[in-house]
Chain A
């Protein structure tokens, strides 16, 4: 995964950009010459600048994931990586009820993505095309929520929705007493939609921004209906934003833990909750890693399928430097 070194000669273009290089090459002794070349060749500069980050990723992202994947082959209830590999953990996954939590997590994630697409598209459209000064305000207001721990915000919902909470109490004093609104599936979904809204909204807004206004105008001039414009122009042209937003939300909600625990009580056990249990009370690390590997696999395949499709520089709206 680590980018390879560009140790070859600086390319033709870079030499053209740096006429001093040929001169240095012919005149100077070896060491300063090497140093000059390293500092002057843009290819090498890029590689050097990327090195600290790549090392961090190797040591603290790739290696741990490989570690999890390897651990899933260890015998049940072991804590060391140095056992004879076995597939017993997979047998346990399928013989146990874990497939249920996997299905719950997948279902909740899909539902969250779909709901957020419907909720966020008008908002993204408004941010990108309609609002002027208001757009910045809405953006800041929603972005700043990211800095508050998600469990604090979810807990706010608990206080709002519990029996005698803000909503229930208000209704009761108006003469409509209700039971607690918590601990069911819709409320878990509400929590997930709430927490992951920014992750859908901002990519979507970027995507909608990429739709040229003239193309929409032309379509309307040619007599297209609103629905046709949405289907034939808006959606296809903003697809990168739609895809990135959906992918981000799907992946994040697949690993969701706090929503189901805080808002859902014990009603629904998600896969992330199962994994947590295996690593804490269950003390069965290999089984936990087998479950995690499943998540890692789904995530990796999806991310590589989606990210391979588009040009990241285009999405940022910038041309490459140099």
Chain B
């Protein structure tokens, strides 16, 4: 065997350590969020553990407004990204056409680009067009960055499509819209679901693009950033934790749905 037992143990230890360090900041956030004092200091006595900051965060109307803006942006971005990405994924992986190689590179391009510069470029572009930045313009910015990701995720599914199914449908007289709706769409559904989840979560957590493109509306990560660099309040880590919990909930829902679908397919 190439890999000895000792090496295996070493690698496992290394991975565990990396994961622990990776989640250390989130643990710190949690520790700060449940601390009663206004100014955080560690260690603090156990009786100072409180959930009042969470309650304050949930009750705050201001926070609810930012969450609303973030949700609006995220859901519209998801719809657009999955819609555009669905066809782009077919062009990426399913159809043979002249410029496919180039198209595959173009899909990757926005991902290989500093987001702050992209957000700024869009701000200038909107300014030039005479559009006042608001949450709708942020949707466009998010879509430019997230649609390629959605495309790549769905492309993996599209590579697995069996072309003979579509050909069979065509031979039996189905037109293109019908083939799309009855054959391609159902076969692509699992990929679309995971692409939708990715889009939703990435848009929800995005900061660099929102910073420049939301204008007067403010998304949740922007507000958190302002609070972090400005005055500290224990509500900030509490909201951070809550937004993590929301993301985890979406992920768990996705896993549950996938398990269920797999079970149904097996049955």
Closest Cβ of chain B to A263, distance in Å, is 10
B135 within 8 A of A: no
The answer to whether residues A257 and B19 also contact, given A45-B97, A158-B228 and a CB cut-off of 8 A, is no
0/1 interface trace, chain B 105-131, chain A, CB 8 Å (1 if under): 111111111111110111111011000
State how many angstroms separate the Cβ of B210 from the closest Cβ of chain A: 9
- Proximity bits, A72-110, B CB within 8 Å = 1, else 0: 000000010100000000000000000000000000000
Chain B CB within 8 A of A295 CB: yes
A67 close to B124 (CB less than 8 A): yes
A283 and B48 CA atoms in complex are apart in Å by 46
CB contacts (< 8 Å) of B220 on chain A: these are 149
Q: A63 an interface residue at 8 Å Cβ cutoff?
A: yes
Q: Is A200 an interface residue (CB 8 A)?
A: no
Instruction: List A contacts of B202 (CB < 8 A).
Output: 146-147
B120 & A164 in contact (Cβ 8 Å cutoff): no
Is B248 in contact with chain A by the CB < 8 A criterion? yes
Partner of A321, one of B27, B113, B161, B207: B161
Residues A67 and B207 in contact, CB atoms below 8 Å apart: no
Give how many A residues have a beta carbon under 8 Å from the other chain's beta carbons: 110
The reply to whether B25 and A156 contact each other, CB–CB distance below 8 Å, is yes
The chain A residue with its CB closest to the CB of B145 is A61
Separation of A321 and B96 alpha carbons in the complex (Å): 7
- Among candidates B43, B156, B205, B211, residue contacting A173 with C-beta atoms closer than 8 Å: B43
Question: Restricting to A232-280, which residues have a CB under 8 Å from any CB of B?
Answer: 247-248, 251-252, 254-258, 261-262, 272, 275-276, 279
A52 touching B42, Cβ below 8 Å: no
Q: Taking A60-B122, A159-B29 as contacts, is the C-beta distance between A148 and B88 under 8 angstroms?
A: no
Instruction: Determine if B109 and A303 form an interchain contact, defined as CB atoms under 8 angstroms apart.
Output: yes
Q: Can you name the residue of chain B whose Cβ is closest to the Cβ of A69?
A: B121
Q: Please determine whether B175 and A321 come into contact, CB atoms closer than 8 angstroms.
A: no
Contact partners of A50 in chain B: CB under 8 A? 87-88, 91-92, 97, 99, 103
Q: Are B95 and A49 in contact (CB under 8 A)?
A: yes
Q: Chain A: which residue is nearest B105 at the CB level?
A: A307
A178 within 8 A of B: no
With CB as the reference atom, state the residue of chain A lying closest to B30.
A156
Whether, in the assembled complex, B192 has its beta carbon less than 8 Å from a beta carbon of chain A, the answer is: no
Q: Are A299 and B112 in contact (CB under 8 A)?
A: yes
The yes or no answer to B26 lying at the interface (CB within 8 A) is yes
Q: A312, B109: Cβ atoms under 8 Å?
A: no
CB distance B147 to A155 under 8 Å?
Answer: no
**Is A257's CB under 8 angstroms from B121's CB?**
no
Chain A minimum-CB-distance residue to B126: A64
Smallest CB separation, A221 vs chain B (Å): 10
Contact (Cβ within 8 A) A255 B114: yes
In the complex, per-residue mask of B55-96: 1 if CB is within 8 Å of any chain A CB, else 0: 000000000000000000000000000011101101111111
Q: Is A130's CB under 8 angstroms from B8's CB?
A: yes
Is A197 on the interface with B (CB-CB < 8 A)? yes
Are A166 and B42 in contact (CB-based, < 8 A)? Answer: yes
A318-B116 CB under 8 A given contacts A53-B147, A248-B111: no
Q: Are A49 and B90 in contact (CB under 8 A)?
A: yes
Q: Report yes or no: B96 in contact with A42, Cβ–Cβ below 8 A.
A: yes
B110 and A61 within 8 A (CB): yes
Query: Which residues of the partner chain A approach B225 to less than 8 Å between Cβ atoms?
Result: 151, 258, 262
Task: State A67–B175 Cα separation when bound (angstroms).
Answer: 42
**Contact indicator A255/B121 (Cβ below 8 Å):** no
Q: Which residue of A lies closest to B114 (CB)?
A: A255
Interface positions of A (Cβ within 8 A of B): 1, 3-4, 6, 13-14, 17-18, 20, 39-40, 42-54, 56-57, 60-61, 63-65, 67-68, 71, 79, 81, 119, 122-123, 125-126, 129-131, 134, 138, 141-142, 144-160, 164-166, 168-170, 173, 194, 197, 213, 216-217, 220, 247-248, 251-252, 254-258, 261-262, 272, 275-276, 279, 285, 288-289, 292, 295-296, 299, 303, 307-308, 312-313, 316, 318, 320-322
Q: 7 closest Cβ contacts across the A-B interface?
A: A255-B114, A156-B25, A46-B97, A169-B42, A46-B95, A3-B99, A50-B91
Interface residues of B (CB under 8 A from A): 2-3, 7-8, 11-12, 14-15, 18-19, 22-29, 31-32, 40-43, 83-85, 87-88, 90-118, 120-125, 127-128, 140-141, 143-144, 147, 151, 155-156, 158-159, 161, 163, 167, 170-171, 175-176, 201-202, 204-208, 211-212, 220-221, 224-225, 228-229, 236-237, 240, 243-244, 247-248, 250-251
Question: Can you list 11 A-B pairs with a CB-CB distance of less than 8 A?
Answer: A13-B96, A46-B97, A60-B125, A67-B125, A147-B204, A155-B25, A157-B24, A194-B22, A220-B2, A247-B112, A288-B120
